[in-house]
């Protein structure tokens, strides 16, 4: 049953078969639950699950119990050299999605640093302005939707890797990757 999810996540599925499998996924309660577990774990990895969701730890523990292989550490000493490693990597490959999301999370997904222009509002340009806003307003002020944050970060990584011959983009991407300081800390 979970092979379907594995195949989908691992992109081992034929495109023409994808729609059918996704329909199966939607109609099968157990599959849907497993799918949600995968994504819940992914959410936690990238720090998207807010305290407001409640019982998060418990939910994640249950999810991990249900899918113990998913979070098995990869043994790099045997990395993709033999069958064992390919099995390990297949397990890890299940999390191609989570991996990307985790990467995204690190690449400066700082909601409060991202000024947005909804409905014609003027974009904030001065960092000091933003800091002041953070000091005076609820944390959610100017926060863009989580899903768009994820997408934004993912697109940023993809953009950086494909950008012309100007490696400055690469530099920017990776500097953001190891960046720690955020306005909301």
Show contacts with other proteins in window 79-118 (CB under 8 A): 80, 86, 89-90, 92-93, 95-106, 108, 110, 113-118
Measured from the Cβ of residue 13, the count of other Cβ atoms closer than 10 Å reads: 16
Rounded Cα–Cα distance for residues 117 and 14 (Å): 40
**Under 8 Å between Cβ of 8 and 22:** yes
Q: Give residues 45-64 in contact with other proteins (rule: CB under 8 A).
A: 45, 47
Q: Shortest distance, CB of residue 2 to other proteins, whole angstroms? A: 16
Q: Shortest distance, CB of residue 27 to other proteins, whole angstroms? A: 17
**Under 8 Å between Cβ of 73 and 88:** no
Binding mask 127-166 for other proteins (x = CB under 8 A): xx-xx------------xx-xx-xxx-xxx-xxxxxxxxx
- Compare residues 54 and 174 and give the one whose CB is closer to other proteins: 174
Q: Shortest distance, CB of residue 131 to other proteins, whole angstroms? A: 7
Q: Shortest distance, CB of residue 12 to other proteins, whole angstroms? A: 10
Alpha carbon of residue 119 to chain centroid: 27
**Token digits of residue 60:** 């994640």
Question: By CB under 8 A, is residue 126 in contact with other proteins?
Answer: yes
Q: Find the binder of other proteins among 56, 71, 78, 134 (CB under 8 A).
A: 71
- Going by C-alpha positions, the residue among 96, 97, 98, 124 that lies closest to residue 111 is 124
- Compare residues 38 and 59 and give the one whose CB is closer to other proteins: 38
Measured over the CA atoms of residue 107, residue 110, residue 116 and residue 118, the dihedral's sign is: positive
């Amino acid at each position: 049953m979970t092979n379907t999810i594995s195949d989908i996540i691992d992109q081992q599925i034929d495109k023409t078969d994808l729609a059918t499998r996704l329909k199966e996924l939607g109609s099968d309660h157990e599959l849907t639950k497993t799918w949600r577990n995968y994504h819940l774990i992914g959410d936690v990895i990238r720090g998207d699950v807010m305290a407001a969701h409640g019982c998060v730890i418990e939910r994640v523990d249950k999810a991990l119990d249900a899918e113990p292989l998913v979070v098995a550490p990869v043994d790099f000493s045997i990395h993709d050299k033999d069958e064992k490693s390919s099995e390990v990597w297949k397990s890890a490959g299940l999390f191609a999605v989570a991996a990307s999301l985790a990467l995204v999370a690190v690449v400066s997904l700082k909601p409060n640093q991202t000024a947005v222009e909804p409905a014609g509002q003027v974009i904030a340009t001065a960092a000091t302005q933003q800091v002041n806003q953070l000091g005076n307003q609820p944390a959610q002020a100017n926060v863009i939707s989580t899903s768009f944050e994820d997408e934004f970060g993912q697109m940023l990584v993809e953009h950086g890797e494909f950008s012309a011959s100007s490696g400055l983009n690469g530099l920017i991407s990776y500097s953001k990757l190891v960046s720690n300081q955020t306005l909301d800390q």
